[in-house]
Amino acid sequence: MLFSCGNASAEHVNAPVANDSAKAVSATPDSAYWNADSLIAPAEKHFAHLRQLTYGGDNAEAYWDFAGDKLSFQAHVPAWGEACDQIYVFNPFTDDLRKNPPQKISTGGGRTTCSYFLPGDSLVLFASTHLDSKECPPVPPHVPGGKYIWPIYPSFDIFVTDLKGNIRKQLTDTPGYDAEGTVSPKGDRIVFTSMRNGDLDLYTMNIDGSDVKQVTQDLGYDGGAFFSPDGSKLLWRASRPKTPEDIKEYQDLLKIGQVMPTHMELYVANVDGSDAKQITELGQANWAPYWFPDGKHIIFASNHNTKRGFPFTLFKIGIDGQGLEPLTTTDMFDACPVFSRDGRYLVFSSNRGGKDHETNLFIAEWK
């Protein structure tokens, strides 16, 4: 899976069903709905309750719709019959994914990543390689003792689908990688990562794919960008190779469609790229950033506290780079955190409670 995020088993229960899902959950905060409270570490003081949403495989990058009652996400779950990552939609408050798989909205061909709801919640954008081939593109082999790399498939383009899986529009068609698209809360622009200029930079475009504007210019990988809650700023992860050796390594990997995400920091800028500021200077990999609803703080995943490169832990920091605070404390993988618009819930990906290194989606009631 492309992340652009103990072995306790949670007791299975049915979610409450109501017209207003959030109110139904809130009305019974101590009920068995919260089936993973036992997986909350003692120091994770911001998790009032925890629910496991998926069970097995690799599940990540879950993003809320505008109404706050559905999630889109990417997953490779062999039991669902797909060979590699596909895009799905479900209601985290009412759907039971152990009884029924979620609604698939990608084509089932190629590899997909980075889905996001458009205004109105009837359409979702995502990146896919299916036009190039229905087969899964190859994943670079892991070399024992070698460096960790992500594939940057040049066949990725960004598409829009309805909630039944019917492709409605192709938003990008330039040669090279186009992916990692997210939508402004204002509903007017999309930010995405593209290699159309030979480097991995951020661009914005209108919802219909028109008026493409380049946002970042510096050499290095710029990706995983999100608009601030008021739509005025962008937050993203970036690598900035400086030495001749690092620059050569970065450019040599790009030539073969790869990037090494082991040294990334977080940046904030205006939506046009002006007034760009580096927020973190922690070392190692700081990524998967997302805005707190107040627009003044950031939640992100980082491995800067470990020499072995693992685990990844969730942290909070101000957009001024001050007030770093650890939010999760397990010796596992916690990443891809996304708040609901009202800040009541946090959905994230984690290895906690899983087996065979599976990565599941969890939703926490935030306090």
CA–CA dist 149, 66 (Å, integer): 33
pLDDT of residue 25 exceeding 90, the answer is no
Assign 16 a pLDDT band (cuts: 50, 70, 90): very low
Is the confidence at residue 144, as pLDDT, over 80?
Answer: no
The predicted model scores a pTM of 0.91
Helix (H, G, I), strand (E, B) or coil at 250: helix
**What's the confidence (pLDDT) of residue 307?**
77
Predicted local distance difference test score (pLDDT) of residue 139: 86
Per-residue model confidence (pLDDT) at position 31: 59
Collapse the DSSP code of 153 into the 3-class scheme (helix H, G, I; strand E, B; otherwise coil) and give the result.
Answer: coil
Q: Report whether pLDDT(336) > 90.
A: yes
**What is the predicted pLDDT for the residue at 44?**
97
- Is the pLDDT score of 143 beyond 70? no
Tell me the average pLDDT of the chain: 90
Per-residue pLDDT at 27 exceeds 60: no
Four-way CATH pick for 21-366: 2.120.10.30, 1.10.10.10, 2.60.40.10, 3.40.50.720: 2.120.10.30
Range 103-119 average pLDDT: 97
Give the pLDDT band of residue 229 (cuts 50, 70, 90): very high
Q: What is the pLDDT of residues 181-207, one digit of tens each?
A: 999 999 999 999 999 999 999 999 999
Q: What is the mean pLDDT of residues 255-279?
A: 95
Contacts of 144 (CB under 8 A, 6+ apart): none
pLDDT of residue 115: 98
> Is 4's pLDDT higher than 60?
no
Q: What integer pLDDT is reported at residue 148 of this predicted model?
A: 83
Average confidence (pLDDT) over 129-158 = 88
Range in 7-16, 189-198, 213-222, 327-336 with the lowest mean pLDDT: 7-16
CA angle 69, 73, 77 (to 5 degrees): 125
DSSP string for 52-110: E---SSEEEEEEE-SSSS-EEEEEE-GGGT-SS-EEEEE-TTT--TTTSPPEE-S-SSS
**Residue 355: band (very low, low, confident or very high) from pLDDT cuts 50, 70, 90:** confident
pLDDT for res 33: 85
pLDDT at 322 over 90: yes
pLDDT at 325: 97
Tokens of 172: 């990008």
Between 24 and 104, name the one with better pLDDT.
Answer: 104
CB neighbours (10 Å) of residue 38?
Answer: 13
pLDDT at 135 over 70: yes
pLDDT at 176 over 50: yes
Query: Quick one: average pLDDT of 36-60?
Result: 96
pLDDT, residue 78, reads 92
Q: Is the pLDDT of residue 10 over 70?
A: no
pLDDT of 14 over the 60 cut: no
How many angstroms separate the CA atoms of 106 and 117, rounded? 13
Share of the chain above pLDDT 70, in %: 90
For residue 41, how many other CB atoms are within 10 A of its CB? Answer: 15
pLDDT above 60 for 324 = yes
**Cα 62 to Cα 53: distance, rounded to the nearest angstrom:** 11
Asked which of 28-42, 91-105, 317-331, 345-359 is least confident by mean pLDDT, the reply is 28-42
Over range 6-26, report the average pLDDT. Answer: 36
Peptide bond into 244 cis (omega under 30): no
Average pLDDT of span 223-252: 97
* pLDDT for the residue 30: 52
Nearest to 130 by CA among 96, 163, 164, 84: 84
**Domains in the chain: boundaries:** 21-366
CA dist., res. 167 & res. 159, Å (int): 7
